[in-house]
Structure 1
Amino acid sequence: MTSLQDPAGALLRLVAGGAAEQELRAVPGTAPDAAEIAVGLRSRLVELEERVRSTDQLIQSLNELSGSGGLDALLRTVVARARRLLLSEVAYFLAFDAVTGRARVRVSDGIMSDAFTRLEVDGATGIAGFIAHTRTPSWTSDYLSDPRYRHTETIDTTTTEEGLRALVGVPVMKNGSVLGVLLASDRRVHDFRHQDVDLLQSLADHAAIIIDNERAHAAHRDDRRELETAVAELRSRESETQQLVDFQDRLFGVLLNGGSLQSLIRLIRQQLGGRVRVEDESGAVVVSAEEDDGGPDDGAEDDDGAGTAAGGRCATRVPLTREGRHLGDLVHVSALPLRLGEAGDRILTRAAATTALVLDGLRGSVSTGLLTASHLVQDLLRDPSGDHAIRIRAALGIDPAELDVVAVVECPATPRHELLVPAHRIAEERGGLAAEIDGQVLLWLRGEEPQAVAAGLHRAFSRALGAPVLVGADDRPVTPETLGAGLARAADTVRSLQALGWADAWALPDDVAPLPALLGRLSADELAAFVERELGPVMAYDRANGTALLTTLLVQQATGSTAQTARTLFVHPNTVHQRLARVEQLLADVRTTPLQQQLALTVRQLRPDTPHSPPARRPRNPEGTP
C-alpha cells in the first residue's frame, strides 16, 4: 500500500485541500505523469463543484419563477437569473413577432443605453437572427468582428454604444416555434464554456414554458371575456326585445285613442330621452317635444340636423315614408356623444312607421281644411255683406267676429304649399284660420295687440321653417267687413319690408311708413323733404366740413359690420367708430325709428347724387337690432 508520506500521498493531500495547479506541479519527487493526473483531477473536482452550485442556483431560480406573477415580471426574473448564473454584465430577452417577423428587446438587465432597450430589428439579422434561423445556441468572443452573423448598422451602432463584445444566446422555443432568444453578454472579449450554454438553455426552456402558459392563460381569459360578453348581449337583447314590445303596445294605445303627433313624440321622448321632432320633406319642423313635455331631460339642444350635432351631441334621423312617398323625418337628438344603439334604432324605426301613418292622415285633413278655408275667405272678400261669415263659422267652427288681427307671411326659401302646412297648424293653435289668397298666405287670428301677434307669428314660423321669414300685420282691428282692407295693408307691409332689404323681420304698417304710399304718391320734392327730415343734420355737416358721414352710414347700414365698412372705405375701424358716434350726436334730436332711418337711407341711395355704397343689406328685425 502506498504511504501518504511519498510524493503520491502528498499530491492527494494537496488535491483534497484545493491547491492550485502550480503547487501540484511543484511537489518534489513527483513524476510528470502523476502531476498531470493530479492537475486533471483537481480541474474535474472544480468543474463538479461549479455544476453543483449552478444547479442549486438554477433550482432556486425555477422555484422563484413559479411564484412570480405576470409575463413581463417572469421574464425579468429569467433574465436577471441568467445574468447572475453566467456572471455576465448584461442579459436580455429578444421577443419575435410571428406576424411581422421582427424582434425587439422585451426585458433586459444591466443595459445602460435607452437605444438598446428600444431596439427593434429584422428577425433575420444579428446573432439573434442567426440563432432563430438555426434554432441552435450560438456564442462569440467578439460579436462586432464575427463574420458569421448578418450585421446591420442599427444593431452594430447600438452594440457599440452599449460596449458589448462577448455574446452567448440560446433559442426560446415551444412546439417547434421560436418565441424569442435569451442572451447574455460582457463588455470584454472572452470565450464561453459549454456549461454556460447549458445553464442558459435551461432558463430558456423554462422561459418558453412561461410564455406558452401565459399565452394559454391569455387565450382562456379572452374566451371567458367573449363568453361573458355573449351572455350579457343575450340578456341585453332579451331586455331590449321586451322594451320594444312594451313600446309597441304604447304606440298602439296612442293610435287607438286618436293620439296626435305631439302625443307620439312625447311617448318617444319618454322612452329615449333627448329631444324628438318631426320634420317635413323640406326640413321644416312640424312638431317637437320640449323639456317640459314630460320626458327625461338630458340637456340636449337643437342640433343642425347632421349626424353629429354641435357640442358632442348625436342626431339620429329616420325617414318617414308612406306608400313610397317621403313625408319627412323623425329626428332624435341626444345630449350624449353616443348613438342610441340597436335597441334605440329599432324603437325609432317602429315609431317612424307609426308617425308616418299619423302624419299622412293629418296632411289629408290639413289640405281639406286649407282648401275649405281659402274658398270661404275668398267668398267673404268678394262679398263682405253676405252670409259668408256665418258659413265660415258653420264649416270651420270659427266665429270671424272673434278674430281681430290679419297677417301675411312670406318665406322666399320655402315653397308656398310647404308654408301652408305650418300656417294651418299655427292658426289652429291660436284659435284662428289660415288660407291662401291670390298666392299670399293669410292668417286671421285672435289678439288685442297686433304687435304681439306679429312677433309671435314670426317666432313660430321661424322655428317651424328654419329659414328667414317676413310677417306683416295690420295694426287696425279687422272685422269681416274690413278684412279686404286689412289684408291689403298687411301685404303692403310685407312688400315694404322686402323693398327695404329685410329678409327676416316682422312689422306693422306704421313701422314702414310712409313706404307703402311713398313710391306711388309722393313727388320728388316730398321725397327729398322726407330724407331731409330724417338725415338732414348729417348731410348738412358733410356739406359744411367736407366729411363723409353719410357715406359711412350708408356703407355701415349695407354691410352691418364695422370691420367690413372700414375695408370698403379704406379707413381704420376706429375712424368708422368715430364717424358713427358723430352721426349719433347729430341725429340725437331727430324723432325717428330705425326703419324710417333705413327708409331714408334707401331713398337717398337711389338718388343719382348719392356716393357709391355696396347694395348688399344685412337682415335686421323691426326693432333695429341685428
Structure 2
Amino acid sequence: MLGSMVLPAQRALVPLDSVLGLLDLLLDETADEQSAVAPLAESLDGAELAGVLWRTRRVRAAVARWRRRDQELSALLSSARELAELRDLDALLDRLVARAHDLVGTDVTYLSEFDQETDELRVRSTLGTFAPEFRRLRVPPGKGLAGKVVSTRSPQWTTNYDHYLDAPHDAEIDEAVRAEGLVSLLGVPLVAGDRVLGVLFAANRDEHAFTPEEIALLSAFADHAAVVLQTVHLLAQARASAEAARAANEDLARTMAARERASAVHQDLTSAVLRGGTAHEVARTLAGSLGRSVEIFDRDLAPLASARTDASGESVTAHVRAAVERSRTTGRCVFLDPSDDGAAVVVAVVAAETLLGAILVGYGDLALGSVERRTIERAAQIVALLALKREAVAEAEERVRGELISDILLGDGAHREELMLRARARGVRLESLRMVVAVLVPRDRRRAAVQALGTWRPGLLAGEHAGCVVVLTDAADPDSAATEVRECVGAPVLVVADAPVAAWGELGARFEPLRQCAELLHDLGIQDTAVNAAAYQPYLALFGARREGIVAFTEAVLGPMLRWDRDHSTDLVQTLRVYVDSHCSPARAARALNVHINTVSQRLDRITMLLGPAWREPEPFFRVTVAVRMHALATGL
C-alpha cells in the first residue's frame, strides 16, 4: 500500500525493514500493531501514520474474515463428509447438532424434526440443554419462531424471544424456553426439494445480535445437513422397501409351498372320498402334510382314527371339548393356546348343525398359517362327507334288512325263493334262522341297537319291525341268546327270546306272542332284563297283553292281604308266595324265609282270616297261586 503513496521529493524514503514489518503485521493476527507501526513514525508525519494505521487495520480485518471463512468452509466440508458416512437417523441427528454447536459456538443447539402428517415440530436432538421438558417439546403449526421458519422457509432470529412479535406465541413453548433460560434464538430451515425436514436452532442465554456471517454459516450448514438427512431418509425407505420386498418374497414362497402342500392334501383327500376311503386315510394324509399328530373323533368324541408323529398328544379334556363347541358354531379351527401358532388346534366335523366328530391336530414346528388352517378345515369337511356316506350306506342297509325282516315275519310263503335270495345278498342263509328275539328300546336308540347287533354274531338279521328291534338268529338256547343280545345292545333294555322253530317259515307265528310278552313286561314296569318268553305264556293265555286285567285280578284275589301289608308294614304276600313255591309245606317255607315254623303258622292264620277259610280249596287256591305269581312278576320280587 505504501508503494501507491506519493511522497515529496525532498522527503526520505521509508526504510525497507519498516515496510516488511508492516507486511508481517498484515499476515500475523497475533503481532503487536504498535510495535510494527512505530518504525514508520521516523519517516511519516502524524496524518500519514494515522492513514497507514487505518488501512492496516482494514486489511488485517479482511484477512481475518477470509481465514475464518476458510476455516468455516473447511469445517463445512469436513462435516459434510462425516455426516455422509452416517446411516442411522438418530445418530445422524445427534451429530448434526454437535457439528452445528461447534460451528456457531452458541450456548444451546437443537434440531426439531417436521412431522409431515401433523405439521408439528418435535425436538429430536439437543446439546447444551438441561431442562428435561425441553427435550419433549412439540411445536404446533404456525406457532413461535419455529413456525415462522417453516412457513417462510428462511432463517428467522430474535435478540430477545420474549419480545418476538413476528409469530404467535404458544404458552407451552414459552414455558419451555423460559425453563431453559434461552433469550436469543436463530432458526434455519432444513429444506430438501419442496419439503421442510426440520429446523436447526442456535440459541444463547443472553441477548445476542446474530451477525450475517453467523446466519449464513448456520444456513449453509443446514443446507448440507438437509441433503444428508434426506439421503438417510431415502436410504431408510429403500432399506424398508427392500426388507418389505424380501419379506413379501419369503411370504410368497411360504404361501406357494403351503398351497402346493394343501393342493396335494386336497387331491389325496378327494381321492379317499371317491374310492371309499376311511378316516384313517384322512388322518395319515393330514399328519404327513403338517408333520403333526392327528386324532379324529366321532360324534361322541370317542377315538375314531389316529396318525401319530410324536409320543404325546392332547386328550379330550374339558378344554378340548369347549374348543370343539366354539369350532362347531364357526366351522373354523380353534387354537388350544391362541398365543401360539405352533399349538394344538381343534376343528369340529359338522354337517348343517349336526356334530359328526372332531379333528385334533397336535403340537408341531410348522406354523399353522391360513393355508394350513384351511387344509385342516377341508379335512374336516372330508371326514364329514365320509361320515355321511357311511351313515347313508348303513341307513340304507338297515332299511333293507328291516324290510327283509318284515317280509319274513309277515310273509305267506308265496315269495319264499325271493326272500331267500334277498337274505343271501345280505350274507344270511335264511334256512339256518330258527329263533326270534324281540328287543324293546326307546325310538332314539333303535338305530344304535341295530348297528350294535350287526356285530353280535355272523349270519343273523337285525332290524326294526312293529315298534321294536327284531333279531333273527340261528341260536339254539333262548335264555343265553336273550342275555347275549342284552349285553350287546347295552342296558337298560328289555330282551325277550323264544324257543327255536323247526323251519324259518314259522318265525312269523312266533313273533306276535313274543312282542305281546315284551309289552306285558314293559307295562308291568320291567324294562331292563333278558327273559325266556316260555315262562310267561300261561299269563299271556289268561290275560293277554293287557296290564289292566292283571292288576284287577290281583286286587280282587289278594286285596285284603295287600291292604293289611300296607297298613301294618307286614309281608304276608311274600310269605304266601314262598309257601306256594314250597309245595304248601310250612317247614320248607320257614327254612326259605329263615324264620321259625311257628311264625309261618301264625302268618298263615292271619292270611286265612283275611282271605277266608276256603282259600286253600282247589279253585280258590289256583286263583291265589296265579295272583301271587303275577304280583311277584309285577313287583320284581
Does TM-score exceed 0.5, indicating one fold? yes
Aligned match for 2:81, one of 63, 83, 87? 63
Q: TM-score, normalised by structure 2?
A: 0.58
Higher mean alpha-carbon deviation, 292-301 vs 195-204, is at: 292-301
Q: Aligned-pair distance for 1:132?
A: 0.9
| Counterpart residue number, 2:116 | 98
Whole-angstrom distance in 2 between the partners of 1:524 and 1:184: 116
Q: Is the 8 A contact 1:169 1:183 kept in 2?
A: yes
Q: Aligned-pair distance for 1:180?
A: 1.0
| Counterpart residue number, 1:342 | 371
Aligned match for 1:311, one of 333, 337, 362? 337
* Alignment pair present for 1:173 and 2:173: no
Whole-angstrom distance in 2 between the partners of 1:12 and 1:227: 66
Whole-angstrom distance in 2 between the partners of 1:159 and 1:490: 102
Q: Aligned-pair distance for 1:69?
A: 3.5
Whole-angstrom distance in 1 between the partners of 2:456 and 2:139: 78
Aligned match for 1:205, one of 217, 223, 233? 223
* Alignment pair present for 1:51 and 2:65: no
Q: Deviations over 1:301-338 (max 9, x none)?
A: 53233343543254456876xxxx88877855445697
Whole-angstrom distance in 2 between the partners of 1:116 and 1:66: 28
| Counterpart residue number, 1:127 | 145
Q: Aligned-pair distance for 1:88?
A: 1.9
Higher mean alpha-carbon deviation, 473-482 vs 167-176, is at: 473-482
Distance 1:85 1:260, change over 3 A: same
Q: Aligned-pair distance for 1:198?
A: 2.4
Whole-angstrom distance in 2 between the partners of 1:443 and 1:82: 102
Distance 1:191 1:5, change over 3 A: same
Whole-angstrom distance in 2 between the partners of 1:262 and 1:131: 75
Distance 1:97 1:409, change over 3 A: farther
| Counterpart residue number, 1:558 | none
Give the match's secondary structure for 2:210.
coil
How many residues are matched?
474
Whole-angstrom distance in 2 between the partners of 1:443 and 1:164: 105
Q: Aligned-pair distance for 1:86?
A: 1.3
Give the match's secondary structure for 1:311.
coil
Aligned match for 2:398, one of 340, 349, 370? 370
| Counterpart residue number, 2:130 | 112
Q: Is the 8 A contact 2:349 2:383 kept in 1?
A: no
| Counterpart residue number, 1:544 | none
**Which runs of no fewer than 5 residues in structure 2 stay unpaired?**
1-12, 339-343, 474-480, 501-509, 531-546, 556-561, 570-637
Whole-angstrom distance in 2 between the partners of 1:229 and 1:70: 22
Give the match's secondary structure for 1:472.
coil
Distance 1:251 1:223, change over 3 A: same
Give the letter for the 1:345 counterpart.
R
Q: Is the 8 A contact 1:472 1:490 kept in 2?
A: no
Give the match's secondary structure for 1:147.
coil
Give the match's secondary structure for 1:106.
strand
Whole-angstrom distance in 1 between the partners of 2:427 and 2:54: 132
Q: TM-score, normalised by structure 1?
A: 0.58
Q: Deviations over 1:550-571 (max 9, x none)?
A: xxxxxxxxxxxxxxxxxxxxxx
Whole-angstrom distance in 2 between the partners of 1:478 and 1:144: 116
Aligned match for 1:155, one of 165, 173, 185? 173
Aligned match for 2:389, one of 352, 361, 364? 361
Q: Aligned-pair distance for 1:495?
A: 11
Whole-angstrom distance in 2 between the partners of 1:166 and 1:103: 19
Q: Deviations over 1:592-616 (max 9, x none)?
A: xxxxxxxxxxxxxxxxxxxxxxxxx
Give the letter for the 2:188 counterpart.
V
Q: Aligned-pair distance for 1:426?
A: 5.7
| Counterpart residue number, 2:282 | 264
Q: Is the 8 A contact 1:124 1:130 kept in 2?
A: yes
Q: Is the 8 A contact 1:278 1:288 kept in 2?
A: yes
Distance 1:18 1:372, change over 3 A: same
Higher mean alpha-carbon deviation, 7-16 vs 360-369, is at: 7-16
Whole-angstrom distance in 2 between the partners of 1:162 and 1:13: 44
Q: Aligned-pair distance for 1:227?
A: 3.8
Q: Aligned-pair distance for 1:79?
A: 0.8
Distance 1:33 1:253, change over 3 A: same
Q: Aligned-pair distance for 1:343?
A: 5.3
Whole-angstrom distance in 2 between the partners of 1:80 and 1:231: 41
Q: C-alpha root-mean-square deviation of aligned residues, in Å?
A: 5.5
* Alignment pair present for 1:193 and 2:211: yes
Whole-angstrom distance in 2 between the partners of 1:479 and 1:154: 106
Whole-angstrom distance in 1 between the partners of 2:442 and 2:32: 117
Q: Aligned-pair distance for 1:53?
A: 3.1
Q: Aligned-pair distance for 1:197?
A: 2.0
Whole-angstrom distance in 2 between the partners of 1:37 and 1:443: 136
Q: Aligned-pair distance for 1:83?
A: 1.0
Whole-angstrom distance in 1 between the partners of 2:83 and 2:210: 25
Q: Aligned-pair distance for 1:357?
A: 5.2
Aligned match for 1:472, one of 463, 487, 492? 492
| Counterpart residue number, 1:79 | 97
Question: Identity of paired residues, percent?
Answer: 23
Distance 1:33 1:486, change over 3 A: farther
Q: Is the 8 A contact 1:472 1:494 kept in 2?
A: no
Whole-angstrom distance in 2 between the partners of 1:48 and 1:525: 139
Distance 1:440 1:339, change over 3 A: farther
Q: Aligned-pair distance for 1:231?
A: 3.9
Give the letter for the 1:304 counterpart.
V
Q: Is the 8 A contact 1:260 1:358 kept in 2?
A: yes
Whole-angstrom distance in 2 between the partners of 1:196 and 1:358: 86
Q: Aligned-pair distance for 1:178?
A: 0.7
Give the letter for the 1:18 counterpart.
T
Give the letter for the 1:93 counterpart.
L
Q: Is the 8 A contact 1:115 1:158 kept in 2?
A: yes
Q: Deviations over 1:125-163 (max 9, x none)?
A: 222211111000111122233111221122112222222
Give the letter for the 1:364 counterpart.
A
Aligned match for 2:307, one of 293, 301, 305? 293
Q: Is the 8 A contact 2:324 2:358 kept in 1?
A: no
**Which runs of no fewer than 5 residues in structure 1 stay unpaired?**
411-415, 458-470, 497-506, 510-516, 531-626
Q: Is the 8 A contact 1:304 1:310 kept in 2?
A: no
Q: Is the 8 A contact 2:122 2:138 kept in 1?
A: yes
Q: Deviations over 1:53-102 (max 9, x none)?
A: 33333333223223334122122111111112111222222111222222
Q: Is the 8 A contact 1:89 1:187 kept in 2?
A: yes
Aligned match for 2:202, one of 156, 159, 184? 184
Give the letter for the 1:362 counterpart.
R
Give the letter for the 1:215 counterpart.
H
Q: Aligned-pair distance for 1:51?
A: 2.7
Whole-angstrom distance in 1 between the partners of 2:454 and 2:85: 80
Whole-angstrom distance in 2 between the partners of 1:38 and 1:493: 140
Distance 1:264 1:2, change over 3 A: same
Whole-angstrom distance in 2 between the partners of 1:93 and 1:447: 97
Give the letter for the 1:369 counterpart.
E
Q: Deviations over 1:494-533 (max 9, x none)?
A: 999xxxxxxxxxx989xxxxxxx9xx99989988999xxx
* Alignment pair present for 1:143 and 2:169: no
Aligned match for 2:30, one of 14, 18, 33? 18
Q: Is the 8 A contact 2:280 2:307 kept in 1?
A: no
